[in-house]
Chain A
C-alpha cells in the first residue's frame, strides 16, 4: 500500500516538475526560491561576519567594500544579518505551512470522505477560523502565548489550516463517488487505504499549487508580526525585525530598512511567480497562456 502511495505521490511531483520546466515564469520563480533557500541554509558559511557581533564605532556606518550593505544601529553587519534572518523566516513559514497542509489536508479528506455530521462540524470549525483576519489572529496568538518560534509557527499554522482543509475536501467529495473507489470498497479495502491510496493522489496537485502561494502568505505574516514587535526576540536576526529597527532610523539611515525589505520582496516575488505558474500548468483551461 505504501509503495502505491509513494508511486502516486512521485507521479504528482513528476507532473508538477515537468509543468514547472515547461512554464518560463514558474521556472524563473522556482529558481529564485531555490537561491534564497540555499542562501539561508548556507548562511553560516556564506555570511562574511557574525550577525550578532556589535561594533560601536561602526554604528549606522554606510556601506563599504568589506560591509557591502552597511551597519545597523548596533554596528552589526547588515548583509550577514539578512542571510541569517532568512533562516528564521523560512524555517517558521515552511514548518507552519507543512503542518497546515498535513492537518488541514487530513481534516479536509476525512470531512469529505466521512460526510454527514462530522463534515458539518469540521467545516463549521474552519469557518470560525476564517472569521479572524490572518494578521489579527496571529497578533492575538503570539501576544497571548509569548513571542517564541513555536508560538509563531502555531499562529501561522492556525491561519492556514482552514484553506487547506477546504481545498482538500472539494476533490474528495467528487472522487469518492467514482467507480475505482467503489471498486476498492467492494474488494474490502479499509477506509484508511481508500483515503490514502486512492483519494490522496487526486488531492495532492491542488494542495501543492496552493502551498507555494501560502508559503508567500506565511512569510508575509511572519515578517509583519516581527515588524509589529511580536516576532522572534532580538538580537536574533529576522527580516521583519530588521525592518522594524531600520524604521526607527528611517530619516537618517534609510538603507537599514530598505535592504531587508528587498530580501522579502525577492522571495515573495519568486514564490508568487512559482505559484501562479503552477496554477497555470495544473489548470487545463489556462495551459495555453
Chain B
C-alpha cells in the first residue's frame, strides 16, 4: 500500500540534475538495549531544487530520523542518499560536517541562538566555520537579515532581547548566509503563537518563491498545508506523498502537540 504510493514520484521519471534530496530505500535501525528499533523501513524520497515540502508525521513515525539523515546529521543503516549531488550515506563525521556546512541551512524549533551574542554575531556564526573572508561576512549577513525582514535597529541587539518571532527570523537568516542548497526546518513554528507562526510560514513561502529549496518537518496540519508538497511518514514508511491541496492532512496528527 505504502510502497505503491511511493511510485507516484519515481525518481527515474524525473530529471536527475535538479534533485536536491535523492534517497533510495533508506533503512535506519537503532541498536537499543536488547531490542532493535527499526525507525525507517525503506524510505525513498526525491525533492527537487526549488520545492517547498513538508515532512509530516506523529512522534515515533520516523520523521525525526528521516530529518537527521536528510540533514546529514546521521547516516542510514542501509540505502543510498545523495544530497545536492554528494553521496553522503557512507561519509565519516568530518565529511558530513563539511556537507552540512556547504549545503544545509538548519532552522530549529527552539531557535538555538547564542543568547549573549548580538543578532549580527549569531547570523555570522556559520561563516566562521565555512572560512568566509572577514570582509564578506557582514555584507552577506546584512543581505540575509534583510531577506528575512529583520529591521536594522535589531542587528546590534542581543538575541535574548528579541521576541520569539524575531528570534526565529534570526535563525532563518543564519541558515541563509552560506547560501545552502537546502533549508531544513525542524518544527519551526512549534515555539511560536499562531499569528507569529503564520508570518514565519509566509517568510518561508517567500524564500521559496525566490528559489530556495525548503523542507519543513512538522506534526501540525496547518503548517504542513502551507507547503506545496506534503510527505506523510508513518511507521518508518512514506504513507502519502502529494501536493498539499490534495493530501489527506486534516484530522491527522491531532493527537500530537
Partners in one complex: no
A contacts, CB < 8 Å to B:
none
B contacts, CB < 8 Å to A:
none
